[in-house]
Amino acid sequence: MTDVNPNRRTLERYYEECLNKGNLDVIYEGATDAHISHGTAENGKEGVEHLKEWVRIQRASFPDLHVTVDDWIIEGEKVVSRFTARGTHTGVEYYGIPATGRTFAIPGIVIDEFSEGVIVESWFSMDGFELAKQLGAFG
């Protein structure tokens, strides 16, 4: 059995503890204050406080949010996570969409770049149009 890459371990803890359980303090373990996030509102915003706010919005809108990583690709200091996010929109309004009670399942991908064991930059991509469609935003 081979050891799991330490950067992957950091991300596994982030997905399980932070995204799936709502423990926002885990963010401080894995990202720097200068962390840059691309693809989350607002694009290119910096810091762990931005990450915390983004996760807070997700968890408040989808209290049962669960993210499963389907594939890991590790190349040097970059880790790619191909994931599926699932949840039910029973919480607060989500970017202008009132709570609908509908469920969703959306694939996505994140590329996280590490330096000295912490995430310094992330690129996030998920089909927001498909999410809005599954939540019933278009009728």
- Report which of residues 88 and 138 the model is more confident about: 88
Residue 86 burial (CB count, 10 A):
15
Domains observed in the chain: 6-134 (3.10.450.50)
Strand 118-126 versus strand 31-38 pairing type = parallel
pTM of the shown model: 0.90
The average pLDDT across 56-60 equals: 94
Q: How far from the centroid of its chain's Cα atoms is residue 21's Cα?
A: 12
Report whether 27 contacts 51 (CB < 8 A): yes
Q: Which pLDDT band, with edges at 50, 70 and 90, does 41 fall under?
A: low
